[in-house]
Structure formats: C-alpha cells, structure tokens
Structure 1
Amino acid sequence: MHASETGLRARLVDVGVDLVAREGAQALTLREIARRAGVSHGAPRRYFPTHLELLSAIARRGFAELAVRAAAAVGDGTADPRAQLTALAHCYLRFALDNRGMYELMFRHDLLESGHLGLRDTSLPLFGRLVELVGRARPDADARLVAGALWANLHGIAQLWGWGSLQLATGADDFVPLLRSALDAHLGREDV
C-alpha cells in the first residue's frame, strides 16, 4: 500500500472515530464517512471491502484508547489487586460514559464475532488483565467466571447509568457507590 493509500485509510478511520464521538454509532455509514473524508462514496471500499471491516477498524481505536487508559489507571502493578481492580473498573466505567458511541460500537456482537482486523485479539487482553487481577484477589474462586460476572456487572452499570435508569432507581448521583457494591459482590467486602 502506498503512503497516500495508507493516509486515506487512516483518514477514513479518523473520520469514523470523530463521527461516532459526535453522533453515535448509528451515524457510521460508508456514505457519510466518505462524504466527511472528502472522497467518493465508493472510495472506502478500496480499503475496507465491507462495512464491518471499517467499523472494526474504528472500534480498534476505541479498544486501543481504553487499553492506554486502563494501563495508566492500574499503574505499575505494585498496588494490591483490589486497588488495581477498583482503578481498572472505574476507568472502564468512565470510558464507557464519556465515549458512549464508541463504547456501543466496541461491544457490538457482529464486530467481535467477525474477527476483522484482529478485533477479538484487541478486546481480549483487557479481559485477561481482569482475570489475572481477580485471580490474585480471589484465589479461592474460578477467576475467569468471577471476572466475567464482574465485567457483565460493570457493563450493566455503564449501560443503565448512561440511560439514566440507575440514577432514577437508586437516587444516586455518582456511580462510585454502585461500583463499590459490584466489587464487594464479586470480590467480597473490602477489609476496613
């Protein structure tokens, strides 16, 4: 691929990332991305033969950004596992709430199952880190299952908080108490 082709491919993904941030995942049509990139509506197909491949490339950017934030949140790994899990979970929820369109795109089943551009490989390392930390915090349990349940709980908090449902149901104005409750439910109450 020539530099100009690589540049256009990256520009199409950049436009998609910007579009999903501004207008949500539903705005990500090939035609709209091409229009905003200043190319013909057929141009994206030269680089992304299917719509799913372009969406996967955009979602990869989201996973990359989440991975950077998660690494920064967890730090050098010297804190106790519970503190690292708390930081990781908080980072995950903050990312989900601050980047709702991208978050929705990143967890679309059709993208994760398609395997385009290694998206599955991009999404699984964060889960692997969660499993590792849960295993250290709960050596008595099947870390993969507890991590899966915790992740599902975090995903549910992100979705329901984003919709305003949890605020209405709980009267909470901050998701942190819900996060603490989720961690307590899956890891046991923190020693005080």
Structure 2
Amino acid sequence: MNDSLRTRLIDVGVDLVTAEGVHALTLREIARRAGVSHGAPRRYFPTHRELLSAIARRGFTELAARGARAIEETGPGGTAGPRERITALGHVYLDFALANRGMHELMFRHDLLESGTLGLREASLPVFALLVELVGQARPDADARLVAGSLFANLYGIAQLWTWGSLQLATGADDFAPLLRTALDAHLGPEER
C-alpha cells in the first residue's frame, strides 16, 4: 500500500473541509485535488465513510494536541488547579470548533461515530477522558463521567449556536468566554474568588 498517497488523500480532505466545509468532501473532488483518478481513493478507502473518518480522526488528533498544550501552559508540572485546566480545555475546544467549522461538523457526524469499524469513536475518547479526569479532580463528590458528559454537551451546544449566530442574538455577547464561564459554574459550581 502506498502510504504517501493515502496520507495525501487525507491531507487534501483536511484542507478541503477546512476551506469549503463538509459538503465539499466528495471522493471525486478529493481525488481531483490529490491529482489521481477518481477511483484511486477506493484502493485505500473502500467506502466514502472510511475516508471521511480518516479525515475526522485528524481533527480529533489536532484537538487533543491543542488541549494537552493548553493544559500544560496553564501550569507546567500540574501547578494549575483542575478548574483552570478545564477552563483552558473549554477555550481550546470552542476556539477549535469555531475556527474549524467544517472539521468540527465532520468529527461529530452521527453516521461516522456510529460505525464501529471505522475507529472514529475511539479517536474521540482521549479528549473526553481528559475532561473526565479533570472533572473528577474538580468535583470528587459527583460522577465525573456524567458531569463531563453534560459539560461537553453544553460546550458543543455553545459551539453550534455560536456558529449559527443564535447566542450572539439572544445574549448580546460578542465573545463566548462569559458563556463558557457560566457553563463551568453550572457544572462545577461557582468559582471560588
């Protein structure tokens, strides 16, 4: 198998979803931009969903790397508290979702996450596991998985509604930071000042 062509197809897909959104991710367009025949992607990705999943895995890898960097920057060596690290992770997630709308949409497509054979669900777990760990530190009194799941759902909702312009209209906010702070207060309790 020619790994460089496989990688090039994924790279082209990442560039395409970033520039034009999910709707542009056709096998034919990816092949055209990669400079190969329209049938060539099928040699590496037997289904369109497999190629889309490979592209989305790149998004999860990037999000995980950004999250790890942000947490490290909040307090090298673990000097920052769990809430500060969760706040940093929340900022990274929202920044990523808003700056990479097409990739964010692709990463959480139900049909791709549902398919157990594509491994995308597993690719999504490291970021969630990190959130669960931090929530467990911040809220040892609660079921960390449930609180983290609820917080993640809230952040996903903020990202989607912000993308559509609904939150700006409803709240008058011009920055998502107050919404993030409010979501953290709702799920972790008010921040001690």
* Band the TM-score falls in, shorter-chain normalisation: over 0.9
Tell me, yes or no, if structure 1 residue 143 matches structure 2 residue 148: no
The corresponding residue for 1:30 is 27
Deviation at 1:77, TM superposition (A): 3.3
| Paired AA for residue 177 in structure 2 | V
The corresponding residue for 1:12 is 9
What is the root-mean-square deviation in Å for CA atoms of aligned residues? 0.9
Q: Distance in 1 between matches of 2:112 and 2:19?
A: 21
Tell me, yes or no, if structure 1 residue 49 matches structure 2 residue 46: yes
Alignment CA distance shift 1:106-1:157 (3 Å): same
Q: Distance in 2 between matches of 1:110 and 1:183?
A: 29
- 1:1-192 correspondence to structure 2 within 5 Å: 1=1, 5-75=2-72, 76-192=77-193
Deviation string for 1:32-83 (max 9, x for gaps)?
1011111111110000000010000100111111011000011143310000
Q: Secondary structure at the match of 2:173?
A: coil
Q: Distance in 2 between matches of 1:112 and 1:19?
A: 20
What is the TM-score of this pair, normalised by structure 1? 0.96
> Contact (CA 8 Å) 2:161, 2:167: kept in 1 or not?
yes
- The percentage of aligned residue pairs carrying the same residue is 78
Length, aligned pairs only: 189
Deviation at 1:114, TM superposition (A): 1.1
Greater mean deviation of Cα atoms: 79-88 or 110-119? 110-119
**Which runs of 5 or more structure 2 residues have no equivalent in the other structure?**
none
Deviation string for 1:145-188 (max 9, x for gaps)?
10000000000000000111000000000000000000000000
Q: Secondary structure at the match of 2:56?
A: helix
> Contact (CA 8 Å) 1:21, 1:99: kept in 2 or not?
yes
**Which runs of 5 or more structure 1 residues have no equivalent in the other structure?**
none
Q: Distance in 1 between matches of 2:123 and 2:71?
A: 18
> Contact (CA 8 Å) 2:131, 2:148: kept in 1 or not?
yes
> Contact (CA 8 Å) 2:21, 2:103: kept in 1 or not?
yes
| Paired AA for residue 162 in structure 1 | T
Deviation at 1:117, TM superposition (A): 4.3
Greater mean deviation of Cα atoms: 99-108 or 118-127? 118-127
| Paired AA for residue 79 in structure 1 | A
